[in-house]
Structure 1
Amino acid sequence: MLTLYMIHNCDTCRKARKALDDKALMYKTHDLRKDGLSAALLEHILNRVPLVEVINKRSKTWRNLSDEEKDYDANSARQLLLKHPTLLKRPLLELDDGTIMIGYRDGDYDKLSG
């Protein structure tokens, strides 16, 4: 089953959910704010997607970080993501084969089938 890692009130996440619903695809959601981001889940994601691709440097959370926090290495980045799950780009859609798609634009899910 597909898993959509998202934040409930994120507009792009809502569009992604609508696209999945319109295609009548079965999926479960994991709200990063409500359900949290565990170290195990973060490693699960990072085993499929490079760290540099999942940090959302356009987010309000990123802008509010200190310059010291923004100067991260792999370990400190993991700590930042665990402390601030909203730093993850979203939505993240995990496919049945374990591949994770980052973000959503119209048409991204057109090739998916249920």
Structure 2
Amino acid sequence: MRSIILYGLKTCDTCRKARRHLDAAGVDYRFRDLRADGVDGERLRRWEAAVGWEQLLNRRSTTWRQLAEADRADLTADRAIALMIDHPTLIKRPVLEYDERVLVGYRANDYDNLS
């Protein structure tokens, strides 16, 4: 059985679009709220290995802008992952896990191939 998990925020408009797309296509998936459920370092490491921490870290978020300059400077993969564990809203969303793959962000064409 195919396991599809969508990680995001319930209040995120882009996550809502992704959920509507999956619902309309009849795709069976689970939704995990990053704020409510958090995310562990092991999962973040898998995502980072699949797409790179630079793509995973949302530098346009309010949370990013509110971080101290010292926290934003000289980032490495380890530091970025630690920040995302402490502040899950720093993760670019939605993150979709399926068939051992990871998609970050929502693009309708990518989601069309899931049904």
TM-score by length of 2: 0.90
Identity, % of aligned pairs? 43
Instruction: Please list every run of 5 or more consecutive structure 1 residues that lacks an aligned counterpart in the other structure.
Output: none
Q: In the TM superposition, what is the alpha-carbon distance from 1:107 to its structure 2 partner?
A: 3.5
Structure 2's unaligned 5+ residue stretches are none
Question: Match of 1:92?
Answer: 95
TM-superposed deviation, 1:44: 2.6
Following TM superposition, by how much is the alpha carbon of 1:102 offset from its aligned partner in structure 2, in angstroms? 0.9
Matched residue type, 2:62 = K
Measure, in 1, the Cα distance between the counterparts of 2:45 and 2:108: 28
Q: Render the CA deviation track for 1:31-86: whole Å, top value 9, x for unaligned.
A: 11111111222223223221111000110011111111111222211211111011
* Equivalent in the alignment of 1:79: 82
Aligned position for 2:72: 70
Q: Is the 8 A contact 1:39 1:82 kept in 2?
A: yes
Q: Distance in 2 between matches of 1:42 and 1:83?
A: 12
Aligned residue type for 2:64 = W
**How many Å separate the matches in 1 of 2:32 and 2:55?**
19
RMSD of aligned Cα (Å): 1.2
